[in-house]
A = this chain, B = another copy of it.
Amino acid sequence: MNQGLQFDDTGRLRHLLTIEGLSRQTILEILDTAESFISVGQREIKKIPLLRGKTVVNLFFEFSTRTRTTFEIAAKRLSADVINLSVGTSSTAKGETLLDTIRNLEAMHTDLFVVRHGESGAAHMIARHVPPHVRIINAGDGRHAHPTQGLLDMFTIRRHKGDFGKLKVAIVGDILHSRVARSQIHALKALGVDELRVVAPKTLLPTAVEKLGVIPCSRMEDGLDGVDVVMMLRLQRERMQGAHIPSEHEYFNLFGLTPVKLALAAKDAIVLHPGPMNRGLEIDSAVADGPQSVILPQVTYGIAVRMAVMALIMGGSPGRREETHPVAASRARAVVTTRKRK
């Protein structure tokens, strides 16, 4: 898909559709901006007026209360008005096309669509059709991308492990069907991680996955050996019904992250999971709730990262907002400058 679509003519981020094609510098700018929003969640009054008077539409064609909630909280903390639309049950049911739905919403002068859709490329397709003042954030499209998840994972790794150039990372689970894995791989490669392994049964590994610059492993012994970061994926139980996995029991035995398997990694390795977890399937509770787990911090950081993405793409608006928006953007950056991560 066309990554140029994400940038405006001046090279500023206009939409966030995929991490593929984002430069190291752009990713770091997002992470730095997110650092500045971490403190907002800890304040007495968790609200800043950056998006006051803006309308954010959560446009969910696929059901996800958790992801919708994180974007709703992020937008409200930026003082935006939020409209939640579950479009599976909306006008498209009346036979209206997706594009008619989008055009109608933008005619209402909404500013930002957070789009979740079951089909790969849906957010790109929408981004190709909106006018310049409308922004799109891809909140997950089919098997393609889930960029804010990938970014919050990077934020988590940087906070807990520091310099990417020195890290060995393993992504474990259903690589084949996972939009999260795709976004993580693009982000980690852009940030120059030392070594990146993908660990899965062969039936859950894409063919020629090496082309992405990753090392495929079909055994946890190979995959986790000495890594600094273990990124678990959620296993869709539906996969059990296909030929992909023999049984939940066997999957847990071979690929479930237990304390014993985690001991293969570096002593101070951290464990991530995008949630919701299948405890006892891809991850053991002793690990999920253990001292190496950063799974709940991921959720906290996720709010800050989504606030950062919203602030940055809304701040780079061309056209009629020209006079005012650069102020908002520089305000966002000023916060970053004064509260740099140590």
Residues on A lying within 8 angstroms of B by beta carbon are 41-47, 52-55, 63, 65-66, 69-70, 72-73, 76-77, 81, 83, 85, 87, 89-91, 94-97, 100-101, 103-105, 107-110, 237, 275-279, 296-297, 299-300, 302-303, 320-321, 324-325
Contact = CB atoms under 8 A, between A and B. Distances in A.
Contacts of A85: 65, 69
A83 B94 contact: no
Contact of A90 (B65, B70, B81): B65
A134 to B, nearest CB: 13
A73 to B, nearest CB: 5
A81 B73 contact: yes
Shortest 6 CB-CB distances between A and B: which pairs?
A45-B53, A96-B276, A107-B299, A65-B90, A41-B109, A47-B53
A101 to B, nearest CB: 8
Nearest to A91: B276
Given A53-B46, A324-B44, A69 B108 contact: yes
A45 B96 CA distance: 30
A109 B300 contact: yes
A338 B54 CA distance: 25
A117 B192 CA distance: 47
Contact of A83 (B52, B72, B90, B103): B72
A95 B276 contact: yes
Nearest to A323: B44
Contacts of A89: 63, 65
Contact of A43 (B53, B94, B107, B110): B53
A308 to B, nearest CB: 15
13 contacts: A42-B320, A44-B325, A46-B54, A65-B87, A66-B91, A66-B104, A69-B83, A73-B108, A100-B276, A100-B277, A104-B275, A107-B300, A108-B300
A72 B108 CA distance: 11
Contacts of A73: 55, 81, 83, 108, 110
Given A96-B277, A320-B42, A108 B65 contact: no
A278 B91 CA distance: 11
A13 to B, nearest CB: 20
Nearest to A103: B296
A27 B91 CA distance: 29
